Structures are given as C-alpha cells and as structure tokens.
Amino acid sequence: MKFDKLYEGKLIKRYKRFLADIKLDNDEIITAHVPNSGAMTSCIEENCPVWVSFHDNPKRKLKYTLELTKIDDNLICTNTNVANKIAIEAIKNGTIKELQGYDILKSEQKYGKNSRIDILLENENSDKKCYIEVKSVSLKLKDSLAFPDAVTARGTKHLNELRQMVKQGHRAIMLYVIQRTDEEDFRIAKEIDPKYYETFKEAKKDNVEILVYKSTIDLNEIYISKSKLLK
C-alpha cells in the first residue's frame, strides 16, 4: 500500500486518544487525527519523529492524519486502519499462502453477536467459509513484540466468535499484522490482559488458526512481507 504524501515533524503530545499536536519541519504547529484507540505504548513519545498525511476534505475537521512514528530507529505504522488494507492486498497477491484458493473476498461482513468480520473468504461451490479477524501489532516489550497493548474485551469477544465459527463447520483465522520494523519475536501479552491470553489458548485448542505476518515499512509504502513464528 502506497502512502499519500507524508510530511515530517516532531510529536509535541498525544491527548484524548485521537488527537496529537505536532510541530512540522516548517515550524507549523498542527493537530492531527490519531487513528489508533490503543495505549500506543512503545510507539509514541514526546519529541519523537512522526509523519502525517494531509487530506483537503471539507468534511474533515482535522486535515492531518498521523501515519508513522520512529522509535529507536524503527518505523512504526500507528494507523490501525492500515492492517486490514495490507492484509487484503497480501491475500490477493499471494503473500499469505495459507489463505489462497478462494474465489470470493469480502470485507466488513456481519457475523456473531453484533460484530463484523474483517475479511470473509468463500468459494462458489462450497458452504464452508473462512473468517479472518485482523489485529494490528505495534507494542514492543523488552523481549518481544506483543498483542494486546491494553485490556481488550472486544478482542476477547472476537476470539470467542471465531471459536463459534469453527464449531459451525467453518474455518477461522486470527491474523496478527506486525506494523513496525523491529525484528523481535511475537507473543501474546499475558501480563497485560490475562483473560485475552487464556481465551487465545482456548481458541487454539478449538482449532482457530493463528497467523503472524510482518510488514515492510518505509516512507513510501507499507506491505506484508513475511510470516513470523508465535513465541
């Protein structure tokens, strides 16, 4: 996925979760939308380099969107909306080999209890479907990259709904997309959300498939490039 033109700056502060004050390289102070509801631990800090996109849309209150940050020389895509886009791209171009062989790809389809599955794969001649939930990974701990970065009741709900899809005879996938350039292994952050961790283990026992893929990121584009093992 190609980024729109990016403008470099330094973070002044992030606040109210979805807002960030940034000083651009031309010394202009702007407020950017932060498309990330998480804690953003380890991927944003005062005075860190950031890159924003500009959108001259009269319907938008904020013209800038935070896209990338840099911590310890590693680029991080903090826009969680990107994960679904590059996952779909990687399925279509064959990068995610485990998800090939389907005729139809749909996104944001209703399922479970008042939920929408990120990606649904189908074949015209089969009733068996493949439900894919995508999670953006941006947390770095001392020994690894990890998910989640905060307690996530919604994430736990998604795991349980995937379990139900398997019980109904379908295929269910939890796809973790690493959106930073660090090379550490990936794991589930038990110390942050023990309930999610336990539900994750139960989901694996119930044959929910776990896929972990890493992104390649530069100032022009981001794309899923290779699979990683779960630690």
pLDDT tens readout for residues 119-141: 999 999 899 999 999 999 999 99
Looking at the structure, tell me whether residues 61 and 122 fall in a common domain. no
User: Are 130 and 168 members of one domain?
Assistant: yes
Radius of gyration of the chain (CA): 18
Clarify whether residues 57 and 97 are in a common domain. Answer: no
Domain boundary, last residue among 47, 77, 107:
77
Could you tell me if 63 and 93 lie in one domain? no
pLDDT for the residue numbered 203: 98
Residue 1 lies in a domain: no
Q: Are 139 and 184 in contact (CB under 8 A)?
A: no
Predicted pLDDT of residue 38: 86
| pTM tops 0.85 | yes
Tell me: do 86 and 165 sit in the same domain: yes
Q: How many structural domains are present in the chain?
A: 2
Q: Which residue, of 44, 77, 110, is where some domain finishes?
A: 77
| Interatomic CA distance for residues 231 and 48, integer angstroms | 29
> In this predicted structure, what is the pLDDT of residue 231?
75
pLDDT interval class at 113 (50, 70, 90) = confident
- 85 sits in which H/E element: helix 81-92
68 lies in some domain: yes
* Structure confidence by residue, pLDDT tens digits, 155-212: 999 999 999 999 999 999 999 999 999 999 999 999 999 999 999 999 999 999 999 9
pLDDT tens digit string along 40-91? 999 999 999 999 999 988 888 999 999 999 999 999 999 999 999 999 999 9
Residue with tokens 């729109």, as numbered in its chain: 4
Instruction: Say if 124 falls within a structural domain.
Output: yes
Does residue 111 share a domain with residue 73?
no
pLDDT at 58: 87
Cα separation, 96 vs 93, whole angstroms: 8
Q: Tell which residue, 1, 33, 35, 224, has the closest CA to residue 132.
A: 224
| Statement: residue 229 has pLDDT above 90 | no
The pLDDT tens digits for 141-155 are 998 999 999 999 999
Query: How confident is the model at residue 59, as a pLDDT?
Result: 86
> β-pairing, 19-24 with 29-33?
antiparallel
